[in-house]
Amino acid sequence: MMQSPTPLVLIIDDEAAIRDGCRQALEKFGCAVLDAEEGDEGIGIARDAKPDIALIDLKMPGISGMEIIEILSRDVPDTVLVMITGYATIVSAVEAIQKGTYDYLPKPFSPDQLRSVVRRAFEHRKLKIETRRLWEEKERMEKSFITFVSHEMRSPLVVIRQYIEALKAVAGDRFDRDMAAIIERCGARIQDLETLVEHWLDVSRISEGSFVLKKEPLNLIQLIKQSSEEMAPICKEKDIVLKTDLPDQLPEILGDPESLLRVFTNIIGNATKYTPEHGRITVTSENDDYYVTVRISDTGTGIPSDKLLFIFEPFYRVRGKEERQRGSGLGLTFCKKIIEMHGGEIAVASTEGQGSTFLLKFPSHLRKEQGTGKPSTDPATPFRPF
């Protein structure tokens, strides 16, 4: 009845009648059966034979069933544990399950009940092992993928740009205007690709947990000003008014200046991309006792409401074929992840044709002398973006 390979079941019970009855029922069912009449012997057998399933009587002389369960779930984690008990109370069942038991079988039980529990336990074991295998495989692939991308994909791009540099050095003075433009554009596109690879790496590293933030108490006003300054030339080119309307003081937050600067540059940069000429971008900030909130609004093309949900997803693009703006498709994914790593949140509201507003919210850095309240556990200040 059971699929191969033969399941190996260990029975630990002090009653010979139970052991024999189980053995008969399970052998008929196609299982291999080991048994032990007391706990220590059972634990020894389990450690050596690593059975698929162990049936453990809760009440035995000597070491108790609960203790056996604790030891086995630690020493042979792949063995699925089923408790047998003549005193099936909710309390003991809950305790056993908390200690790592998968199921329990109240005495007296019929051979059919036993088989059905064993069958389910065996399925559970297969799923457990499969899940772990897939998880390990996923982890391994993520790790090797990052190494692969950083070495094998970036180095050719670096070399191509070096060749372009060499070409300009060797023959730059002989290029006419068109040739120079072609070379410039090739270089720019290669650099875009390099940026995409880097963003991809960043997002992968964040997911994998190897992206390191160096957090320190910092003032967001400085960062916002710095990123606005970086965007000033683009705004000037498109005649966009970039207005930062910030208070004189903001509470400090605990943050990594480098990645947060990238977050602000990214969001303000997006605003410049999607805001037509003569438009307006406004950055404001406010705070309460627990949070510092930055609002970045533009008078740009806006995002259709059915697409708002997806804009933080990797490689998601609001516009399809007519998309003329180049970008990695990972900028907002990066921003969201970085903000979340700071215990913050990002939200967006948008009206198509009128503009978008991004709201970035960070927990303020509460120094000990300023109180003991923790922003994340304070129910009085839920995050209400709009």
Partner 1 sequence: MTTKKKILLIDDDKDFLFATKLILERGGYEVFLAEDGKTGVEMWKSVAPDLAIIDMMMETWGEGFSVLSKIRATDTGRDTPLFMLSAVDLQGPYGSFEPPPEFPRVNAVLQKPVKAEDLLRYIAQELNAKKIS
User: Which of 12-20, 47-55, 163-171, 330-338 is the region at the interface with partner 1 (rule: CB under 8 A)?
Assistant: 163-171
Instruction: Output the smallest distance, CB 150 to partner 1, in A.
Output: 6
Task: Compute the least distance from the CB of residue 161 to partner 1, in Å.
Answer: 4
> Which is nearer to partner 1, 57 or 202 (by Cβ)?
202
Choose which of 141, 166, 180, 182 interacts with partner 1 (CB under 8 A).
166
Q: Which of residues 135, 163, 310, 383 is near partner 1 by CB under 8 A?
A: 163
Q: Is 158 in the site for partner 1 (CB under 8 A)?
A: yes
Q: Two tokens at 48?
A: 């050596």
Q: Give min distance, CB of 154 to partner 1, in A.
A: 7
Q: Could you tell me the two tokens for 11?
A: 């029975």
Q: Is the peptide bond before 106 cis (omega within 30 degrees of 0)?
A: no
| Residue 168 sits in the site that holds partner 1 (CB under 8 A) | yes
Q: How many residues does the chain have?
A: 386
**Binding of residue 154 to partner 1 (CB under 8 A):** yes
- What is the CA angle 346-206-361, rounded to 5? 20
Q: Which of residues 176-205 bind partner 1 (CB under 8 A)?
A: 198, 201-202, 205
When binding is defined by CB under 8 A, the residue of 161, 215, 238, 307 that contacts partner 1 is 161
Spell out, one character per residue from 124 to 153, where the chain touches partner 1: x when CB under 8 A holds, - when not.
----------------------xx--x---
Please state, in angstroms and rounded to a whole number, the distance separating the CA atoms of residues 34 and 51.
9
Per the structure block, which two tokens stand in for 170?
């060797």
CA–CA dist 152, 146 (Å, integer)? 10
Are 296 and 303 a contacting pair, CB within 8 Å? no
Alpha helix locations (H) across 76-110? Answer: 90-98
Does 256 contact partner 1 by CB under 8 A? Answer: no
Long-range contacts: 314-320, Cβ < 8 Å, 24+?
314/203
Give dist(CA 58, CA 211) in Å, integer. 47
Dig out the tokens for 97 from the structure.
Answer: 């399950």
For partner 1, give the closer residue by CB, 165 or 237.
165
Where along the sequence are the contacts to partner 1 (CB under 8 A)? Answer: 146-147, 150, 154-155, 158-159, 161-163, 165-166, 168-170, 198, 201-202, 205, 210-212
